Amino acid sequence: MKNFFFYILFFTMAVPALAAKPTPLDPAMQIKARAIADQLRCPVCRGIPIAESPAELAQNMMQEIRNQLRQGKSEEEILNYFEDRYGEWILLKPKPKGMNLTLWLLPAALLAAGVVFLFFAVRRWSA
C-alpha cells in the first residue's frame, strides 16, 4: 500500500517535470548545435563564440539554436536567423562578398607582391 502511494506520488510529480523539460538533442544534433554556435560571436564577450561563453545571453542563444534544430531548421537557416537580427557582425567568419573580399584577397595579394619584390631584389643583388 505504501509502495502504491509512492508510485502515485512519483508519477504525478515526474510527468509534469518531464513535460516541462524539452527533450534533449541526440549526440549528432548536439555536435551540429556546437558547430553552429562556434560560428556565432557572443554579443557580450570579446571575440569568442557563443559555444565558449558562460554569459547568460550566449546560453539563451545556444538554446535558440537547439530549438531551431528541433524544428528541423538547417545550419544555413539558423545562421541567417541570427544574421538578420544582429547583423553580419554576429558571424565570426565574414562572408566572402563585397568589401569583405578585401579580407580574403589582401593577404594573398600582399604575399604575391612580396614574392615579386624578393624576386627582383635577389636578381639585383646577384647581378
Partner 1 sequence: MKRVILFFLIAGPIVALLAFGLTRNPRELPSAMIGKKAPDFALKNLEGKEVTLESLKGQNLLINFWATWCGPCYQEHAVLKAIQKQHAQENLRLLGVVYQDSVENVKEYLRQEGKPFEVLLDPDNKMGIDYGVGGVPETFFVDAEGFIREKHSGVLTMEYVEFMLNTLK
DSSP-derived secondary structure letter, 96: S
Considering the complex, what minimum distance in angstroms separates the CB of residue 81 from partner 1?
9
Q: How far is the CB of 26 from partner 1 (least distance, A)?
A: 22
Give the number of other CB atoms < 10 A from CB of residue 78.
23
- Residue closer to partner 1, measured from CB, 32 or 40: 40
**Residues 78, 80, 84, 88: is their CA dihedral positive or negative?**
positive
Residues that bind partner 1 (CB under 8 A): 43-44, 56-57, 60-61, 63-64, 83-89
CB nearer partner 1, residue 9 or residue 112: 112
**HSE, side-chain direction, 13 A CA sphere, residue 123:** 6
Sign of torsion, CA 109 111 113 119?
A: negative
Supply the minimum distance, in Å, between the C-beta of residue 9 and partner 1: 28
Which is closer to partner 1, CB of 8 or CB of 52?
52
Rg of the Cα atoms in the chain: 26
Number of H helices and E strands in the chain, helices first, is: 5, 0
Shortest approach of partner 1 to residue 61 CB, angstroms? 6
Residue number with CB closer to partner 1 (30 or 102): 102
